[in-house]
Amino acid sequence: MSNALPFRLPAPEGGSVDLLVIAAEHSGDQHAGRMVAGLLAAEPERQVAALGGPALAGAGAQLLEDLTAQSTMGFAVFGRLSFYRTLMAEVVRWVGAHQPKAVCFVDSSGLNLRIAAKLVAAGYAAKAGGATKLVYYISPQIWASRAKRRFEMARNLDGLASIFPFEKEVYADTDLPVSFVGHPFVESDYHTPVAFEAEGPVLLLPGSRQGLVKRLMPVMLKAFALSGAGRDAVVLYPSDSIRALVESFDLPANLSLQRTDAASDPVGASAVLTTSGTMSMHCALAGIPGVVTYKTDPLTYWLGRLIVKVKFIGIANLLLKRAMYPEFIQGAATPTALADELKSGLTDMNRTEQTQRDAAELKEMLSSPSDATAANWMARQLAE
């Protein structure tokens, strides 16, 4: 699949389609892939198409375009506005032409809520009298910023599946049906990419977006060198493009690279330096001591702080309402500060034990009784 959208997305392979899934990020692609795999295991006759990535393709969806290869953030988006405008117009055309029973948007609210609004405006969505239901899997973090989005979502969407139990209450003053479907990371059959291993290597996790990796990888490498950890390091990467970027830095001999989804067994780690996001949640649930760090361009960060009204950026910290992982953001993310935290994570047994307790609390919180699995929820959306 090329980097340039062909701007005539291919027609459904079977001539018709039940479900179109749109997942623009690596994490969303992985979550959606599990949902689609479960759906097709139960209902193999379903025809699923996707704008996503390798996980959705591997689950059995027809991949119309690899959006995970296009992932951008902050002001880098402005350089691709033409691409995203054309993408949205083409999705609307495709839905109008092929009339799937449902479109499922996964995370990536900046793109997906705009597409939903355009489908309503075009008359193709069920809320506008059209043939296609619009549903959402993994709620936008409206509890952190731009809470009023929930009213637009209620006008345009037919249902939402949340992965955090408190999110149902967030939508309580709307008529949007919300189902808590459990967090995929605590499902019994979920393959976690990491595990705690007291004598294992240090994990360096600079993220899945190129701009973020460019800013964080040099800082992490210097912090690892300063820490005197006395052990190896492993960088987990989600895509070939991120691997190539990591390899462009001066890497120490005791550092290895491994694709996130390549290993059959979890990578054991003693401590972690991680950006906020999906992998930080994996590490938190595994009970790996560590620190969350983040760097973006100054203007993006300044604008973000104007609209984001939460104390923490790490999801584990937000859920626990305390700093399971200390956070070092922007100018505070120095090699010396990260090195000190890394040394603490490797040598302070009290910290290790507290991290394990925090992990147990998170698992209990996210394993609350759910309304249905994500796959069952989707099957219900298609049947109704």
> What span, in angstroms and rounded, lies between the C-alpha atoms of 20 and 9?
12
For residue range 147-160, list pLDDT tens digits in order.
889 999 999 999 99
Let me know how long the chain is: 384
Which regions of the chain carry the CATH code 3.40.50.11930?
Answer: 19-182+368-383
Per CATH, is 19-182+368-383 categorized as 3.40.50.11930? yes
Q: Residue 245 and residue 87: Cα distance in Å, rounded?
A: 26
Find all residues with CB under 8 Å of 105, minimum gap 6, and list them. 22, 112, 113, 115, 116, 134, 135, 136, 137
SS3 238: coil
Residues 316-333, mean pLDDT to the nearest whole number: 91
Once rounded to an integer, what is the mean pLDDT over residues 292-296?
85
CB atoms within 10 A of CB 148: 8
Give the whole-number percent of the chain exceeding pLDDT 70. Answer: 89
Locate 358 and state its tokens: 């925090």
**Cβ atoms within 10 A of the Cβ of 147, count?**
13
Can you name the residues that pair with 106 across neighbouring β-strands? 23, 137
| Torsion 317-322-323-327 (CA) sign | positive
Non-local (6+) Cβ contacts of 48 within 8 A are: 17, 18, 19, 20, 21, 36, 39, 40, 60, 61, 62
C-alpha closest to that of 112 among 69, 149, 63: 149
Q: How far apart (Å, rounded) are the C-alpha atoms in residues 77 and 126?
A: 30
From-to residues of CATH 3.40.50.2000 in the chain: 194-366
> Other C-beta atoms within 10 Å of 359: how many?
19
Q: How confident is the model at residue 75 (pLDDT cuts 50, 70, 90)?
A: very low
In tens, the pLDDT along 3-33 reads 455 568 999 998 999 999 999 988 899 899 9
Instruction: Report, as an integer, the average pLDDT of 266-285.
Output: 93
* Residue 49 three-state SS: strand
What's the pLDDT score for residue 77? Answer: 46
Query: Given this structure, which CATH class describes domain 194-366?
Result: alpha beta
In 10-61, beta strands by DSSP E: 19-23, 48-52
pTM passes above 0.95: no
Beta bridge partner(s), residue 202: 233, 271
Q: Please state the rounded mean pLDDT for residues 285-295.
A: 93
Place of tokens 């210097």: 222
Residues 179 and 160 sit within 8 Å (Cβ to Cβ): yes
